Structure 1
Amino acid sequence: MSPIAYPRSPFGKAMFEDAAGDIEVSFEFFPPKTEKMEATLWSSIETLAPLGPRFVSVTYGAGGSTRERTHATVERIARETALTAAAHLTCVGATREEIDEIARQYWQAGVRHVVALRGDPAEPGARFTPEPGGYADAAELVAGLKSVAPFEISVAAYPETHPDSLTKRADLDNLKRKIDAGADRAITQFFFSPDSFLRFRDVAAAMGIEAEIVPGILPVTNVAQTRKFAAACGATIPPWMERLFEGLDDLPAARQLVAATIAAELCAQLYAGGVRHFHFFTLNRAELSYAICHLLGLRPKESDHVDCRRSA
């Protein structure tokens, strides 16, 4: 593992002066609840598709609450676009047989990539308990999916430790179990300190975790909403970030600029630390993720620039 290289002083080179466009990205969306939200989602997909993402994933609500909408959205992406669609699957609210059947349906629909997660209970704050006859955890789910079909599988990782893990070592041991069960990569929960990711990546490598670990990037415009997300996953919101959003409640354009600046600086520091793969939690909006990719030198792929749709 080469030493970590940190960004130079802002009074030397410009932050993105060395960005060479040598990155790969993926984007995460959630299934829409209304026609208006669906229009926003598909507008975002069409905006981001020309950047040639490795894949786009669709989330699964707590307690499996969006199962049907997730399935419909993933299948539509696979059917109507040239993008690689990845479906989230969790252990919550279904038996092994039911989850395996969902996986078979995805495979038959042409979906070859699954994001395999333990999942959260439908009731906020409740502790996870395995479904009777269900998968006990994400490692078991990964092994089960691999027995259904040769899926490409991504799993979750937690630079600041999952709230249910007793220690950092136990959390990393759980990640290794998921990789050893057949997962191809780990995507981290969001974080706001580049050091937390870079140290996590290096400790994981020292433990023999050889699969790629991709940082999850959340451009923040709603601090209150982000606090809820962070409480559920063990992420830390630094006080300085809260201060930067103070007084901007009625200034959405200013919030967007601040959000873009914070996320872009995080990505620039990760890039300087050798990171070349990024996963963006888009919240079904394209602008911030697109802007950050642009700053990192990523440009639309010529072959995909006109239209992301497949011909009928």
Structure 2
Amino acid sequence: MTQARTFSIELFPPATQEGLERLRLVRAQLAQLKPAFFSVTYGAGGSTRERSIEVVREIQKEGLPAAPHLSCIGATRDSIRAQLAEFTEMGVRRIVALRGDLPSGMADPGEFRYANELVSFIREETGSRFHIEVAGYPEFHPQARNAVDDLDAFANKVRAGANSAITQYFYSPDAYFHFVEEVWSRGIEVPIVPGIMPIASFSKLARFSDACGAEIPRWMRRRFESFGDDTASIKAYGLDVVTLLCERLLEGGAPGLHFYTLNQAGLTSTIWQRLGLS
């Protein structure tokens, strides 16, 4: 039996009350697309925990599935246990389990070193209560020593109890398909959903990509640079590039798409409609 594809959307908790109000409007627009779930990010060391919980609670109360990120760096077993109880009370059924980044100035990583330890702990505490998503890196994690170590780390997360994975964004479909093949060769066959980053500003994308290790192909970078400050052309070309990427991924058998919206509705909605996902 063929598994249904999953199309989902990521949001992040704003820093201000005004930002929360804007996010409610964006979320209402994106809800019309009927995503399988909204994931909600979680700052390094839990730095945005309260705002994340507020957004998750609102989404759940609206009758929409929320999938909170749960980061274990800087956490204790007791703190993770308390968060799992809070998610259970809210009716959450899906969690994105991550190691997370050690915040600047924090020397103690806490009681968990790697995401597979967090996944194991969630399973020990809650059994099959939660569908657990983990992260995948088609172009490899920027802190990985080498490709083999990175693939082994991914396999460890799945064997610890993860149900599926969402990848870092990328713009080369071959990178994704190669990653999936390498994972399958290790006997790991969970759904690996590609992460999709719509492009509103090439300069911002370039800075973000340099920081997180996502590659922008040279042909794509040069074309964007040729537009200079022509924001309309940048957005139009970005829509074409990302739509084509999504089409190739779906044609190649990707089990869905996960959109990193950066709390903006327009580009994701347009790509979603172009793909006929509504």
Q: TM-score w.r.t. structure 1 length?
A: 0.82
CA distance 1:276–1:185, shift in 2 (3 Å): closer
> Aligned partner of 1:144: which letter?
F
Shift of 1:42: 1.7
Partners of 2:205 and 2:14 in 1: CA distance:
19
1:77 maps onto 2:59 in alignment = yes
Aligned residue pair count: 273
Mark the runs of 5 or more structure 2 residues left unpaired by the alignment: none
- Which of 44, 52, 55 does residue 26 from structure 2 map onto? 44
1:200-258 superposed Cα distances (whole Å, 9 cap, x missing partner):
11111121111100000001222333234323432111222222332656443333212
Hey, what does 1:60 align to over in structure 2? 42
SS at match of 1:246: helix
1:207 maps onto 2:189 in alignment = no
Hey, what does 1:90 align to over in structure 2? 71
CA distance 1:162–1:129, shift in 2 (3 Å): farther
> Aligned partner of 2:35: which letter?
P
> Aligned partner of 2:277: which letter?
L
Partners of 2:174 and 2:131 in 1: CA distance:
29
Hey, what does 2:153 align to over in structure 1? 174
1:279-301 superposed Cα distances (whole Å, 9 cap, x missing partner):
000101111111111111112xx
SS at match of 2:54: helix
Higher relative contact order (CA 8 A, sep 6+): 1
**Contact 2:201–2:231 at 8 Å: present in 1 too?**
no
> Aligned partner of 2:267: which letter?
L
1:115-173 superposed Cα distances (whole Å, 9 cap, x missing partner):
000001223xx9x97624x2111000011112222211100000011112112111111
Hey, what does 2:14 align to over in structure 1? 32
Give the CA RMSD over aligned residues.
2.0
SS at match of 2:32: helix
- Larger mean CA deviation between 145-154 and 196-205 belongs to 145-154
**Contact 2:56–2:66 at 8 Å: present in 1 too?**
yes
- Which of 288, 292, 296 does residue 267 from structure 2 map onto? 288
Partners of 2:6 and 2:93 in 1: CA distance:
19
The structure with the larger Rg is 1
SS at match of 1:174: helix
> Aligned partner of 1:119: which letter?
G
**Contact 1:23–1:296 at 8 Å: present in 2 too?**
no
- Relative to its length, the structure with more helix (as a share) is 2
CA distance 1:116–1:261, shift in 2 (3 Å): same
Shift of 1:47: 1.4
Mark the runs of 5 or more structure 1 residues left unpaired by the alignment: 1-21, 300-312
Hey, what does 1:306 align to over in structure 2? none
1:144 maps onto 2:125 in alignment = no
> Aligned partner of 1:31: which letter?
P
**Identical residues among aligned pairs (%):** 42
Hey, what does 1:217 align to over in structure 2? 196
Shift of 1:179: 0.6
